[in-house]
Amino acid sequence: MTAKAATLYRMETPKHVCPYGLKSRHLLRSKGYAVDDQILESREAVDAFKARHGVKTTPQTFIGGERIGGYEALEAHLGVARPKSATTYIPVIALFCVAALLALAIGWSAGGPLLHLITVERFIAIAMVLLGVQKLTNIEAFATMFLNYDLLARRWVPYGRIYPFAETGAGMLMLAGALTWLAAPVALFIGTVGAVSVFKAVYIQKRELKCACMGGESRVPLGFVSLTENLIMIAMAIWMPLRMYALM
């Protein structure tokens, strides 16, 4: 059988290797194509190629003499493209899995029992910190998305910029078991406002939104997971002072 063939023109100079060129080559090979890898080794060669084919970018893929286009066009042609607006739970699942493994790792290193209530406490605290860090990577993007549904942020815009610091700080204090008198009220406040906001937007107004929980570029849908996150934060805020009081 004759192998499927494709010609790929991509930029690879001493100072720059186009990542989308490498991704295009990998995608073609993974789909069973024999790739004629044409490397454009200088800026002049890239500019000449663009002028010759009337294109604005590289890489460019040709299959059967027909120009397919860049990487996204190649994905669409091969039927593997996913709409940019498509929602996904993968980021939040990954975050919670890492939080759970970190909680177990801390328990392992401390020499205590792994399946214990304190492991659950650590898991929630670590998850809060990781979620806060996601927001801190681009505070303005998060705050803007947050305005779509958070009731307090809509009334007082700076709250969207404060929230990531409050969530991260409360999580760190809970993980350390320190300043519970501060961490618990903060977590209770932001968790309650968040839960009410999500419930109103999703279950009363029936709006289809993306959750800002993973930051401003999040594609996680606003809904049950977001509501559960806030309810767990509330539960943790109530539990921590009770546990501290019981140990006194």
In tens digits, what is the pLDDT along the chain, a chain of 248 residues?
Answer: 456 899 999 999 988 999 999 999 999 999 999 999 999 999 999 999 999 999 999 999 999 889 999 999 999 999 887 766 667 888 889 999 999 999 999 988 887 777 788 889 999 999 999 999 999 999 999 999 899 999 999 999 999 999 999 999 999 999 998 898 999 999 999 999 999 999 999 999 998 888 888 887 778 888 888 888 899 899 989 988 887 776 66
Please report whether residue 85 resides in a domain: no
Q: Which of 78, 103, 137 is the last residue of a domain?
A: 78
d(CA 111, CA 114): 9
The pTM (predicted TM-score) of the whole model is 0.77
Based on the fold, state whether residues 139 and 42 are members of the same structural domain. no
CA-based angle 52:56:61, to the nearest 5? 75
Please report whether residue 127 resides in a domain: yes
Based on the fold, state whether residues 127 and 236 are members of the same structural domain. yes
Range of the domain at 241: 90-247
Please report whether residue 161 resides in a domain: yes
Based on the fold, state whether residues 20 and 105 are members of the same structural domain. no
Based on the fold, state whether residues 47 and 133 are members of the same structural domain. no
Q: What is the pLDDT of residue 31?
A: 93
CB 145 within 8 A of CB 210: yes
Please report whether residue 183 resides in a domain: yes
CA-based angle 216:230:219, to the nearest 5? 30
Please report whether residue 128 resides in a domain: yes
Please report whether residue 61 resides in a domain: yes
Based on the fold, state whether residues 153 and 200 are members of the same structural domain. yes
Domain count, the chain: 2
- Amino acid present at 213: C
CA dist list (Å): 100 to 90, 134, 224, 245: 15, 17, 20, 26
Q: Which of 78, 99, 115 is the last residue of a domain?
A: 78
Based on the fold, state whether residues 107 and 172 are members of the same structural domain. yes
Q: What is the pLDDT of residue 85?
A: 61
Q: Which of 25, 46, 78 is the last residue of a domain?
A: 78
Please report whether residue 125 resides in a domain: yes
Based on the fold, state whether residues 41 and 96 are members of the same structural domain. no
Please report whether residue 20 resides in a domain: yes
The CATH number of whichever domain residue 29 belongs to comes to 3.40.30.10
Structure-token match 């790739």, residue found: 35
Based on the fold, state whether residues 150 and 234 are members of the same structural domain. yes
Q: What is the pLDDT of residue 45?
A: 94
Based on the fold, state whether residues 68 and 99 are members of the same structural domain. no
Based on the fold, state whether residues 224 and 122 are members of the same structural domain. yes
Nearest residue to 27 via CA among 88, 79, 64, 65 = 79
Based on the fold, state whether residues 59 and 103 are members of the same structural domain. no
Long-range pairs, 77-81, Cβ under 8 A, ≥24: 78/27, 78/31, 80/27
Based on the fold, state whether residues 106 and 207 are members of the same structural domain. yes
Q: What is the pLDDT of residue 223?
A: 82
